[in-house]
Amino acid sequence: MAKKDYYELLGVDRDADQKEIKRAYRKLAKEYHPDTNQEKDTSEKFKEISEAYEILSDPDKRARYDQYGHSGINDQDFNFDDFAQGGFGGLDDLFNMFGFGGGGRRRSGPRRGADLQYRLEISFEEAAFGGKKEIRIPREEECDRCQGNGAEPGTDVKTCPECNGQGQVRSSQQTPFGQFTQSRVCPKCGGDGKIVEEACHKCNGSGKVRKQRKLTVNIPAGVDTGTRLRMSGEGQAGEKGGPAGDLYIVIDVQDHEIFDRKGDDVYCEVPISFVQATLGDKIKVPTLEGKVQFDIPEGTQPGTTFRLKNKGITHLNGYGRGDQYIKAKVMIPKDLDNKQKELLAEFADISGEEINPEHKSFLKKIKDAINI
């Protein structure tokens, strides 16, 4: 059965910001959590909205989902068991919300921004010798209007009167076993410990805005498909003064029309005529740096491989280069005229080779007929 749209599951628009997504998730999670709702299919519904929240709350996964839909999300991108254990911070909030938490954790401190991933396609030559590439990435950056605090300039950011800036509220209840104290996320400030008098008009109080950022990627020589390059601090903006995450560039090298790569060595086939293979010749062969002259020795057999030293890929994080291997592809001529066939037949006679009578020259056929 086809998966449901994540935005529809949470009941938010596709351009919803992180606060709207979190608010919608908390409301639905509280409604469908199996511990508070015993109706049929509640558990499955809770898993669906948890998966939707995990994807949409992660900027990198959300970007992939927006571009490719469910096909852009790997199975590893969401694991409910990990989510339920608090690995993503999802159910910790719920347990506090329901009063199941103990001390809980404060969420009002600085938090590092999320890492981003960008797949960069480069040419075979760029992988071999390195280079520079300009890219544009969508990411969340600190709002330049409110400097990330979410408040409209000129207005106050006050300590939450409900929790006194702690981000949590405690309640005590007398039970037959004694007094029981519970902690939960402050419902007034959402755990931030602060309340803005007026939300920033540019970021709607989130403290972050989505922008296209232009970056120059330095590609080292020797990279291959799957190589990851880290750009420190170029990920999503942090929260509450926390550092930005990192950007990981994943390299995807285009196929080459001539060359194949194995490690740091380069392979190619070079067509030569059967005459060149037999008599030898000087030919031009392609390399990554252009054509060079190469001597084909006499008697070269089809499939013979020759080596050009240090004509391969530059070693990544090291010195030197791989080699280039040239495989001789002997081309057999087609559509020979009578003269060419006669000469080949004569060569076969001299060499003592037996050939099909149909391939003998017309003159030879006449001689054979006279001798009968």
Q: How many CB atoms lie within 10 A of CB 186?
A: 23
Q: Which residues pair with 308 in a beta bridge?
A: 324
Q: How many CB atoms lie within 10 A of CB 36?
A: 12
How far, in Å, CA of 138 to CA of 136, rounded? 7
Rounded to 10 deg, the angle between the 362-371 and 338-351 helix axes is 60
Q: Is 203 annotated as a binding residue?
A: yes
Which phi and psi (to 5°) does residue 141 adopt?
-120, 160
Q: How many CB atoms lie within 10 A of CB 326?
A: 22
Paired sense of beta strands 247-253 and 116-122, if any: parallel
How far, in Å, CA of 184 to CA of 191, rounded? 9
Residue in this structure with the two tokens 């995807």, named with its chain if needed: 252
**DSSP code of residue 243:** P
Q: Is 268 annotated as a binding residue?
A: no
Residue in this structure with the two tokens 């004509």, named with its chain if needed: 311
Vertex 162 angle, CA 157 and 168, to 5° = 100
Residue in this structure with the two tokens 């599951």, named with its chain if needed: 9
Question: Number of helices (H) and strands (E), helices first, in the chain?
Answer: 10, 15
Are 300 and 282 spatial neighbours (Cβ–Cβ below 8 Å)? no
How far, in Å, CA of 285 to CA of 296, rounded? 11
Q: Which residues pair with 210 in a beta bridge?
A: 140
Q: Which of 139, 117, 68 is nearest to 252 (CA)?
A: 117
Torsion region of 89: left, alpha or beta (phi above 0 gives left; psi -120 to 50 gives alpha): left
**Where is the binding site for Zn(2+), in residues?**
143, 146, 160, 163, 186, 189, 200, 203
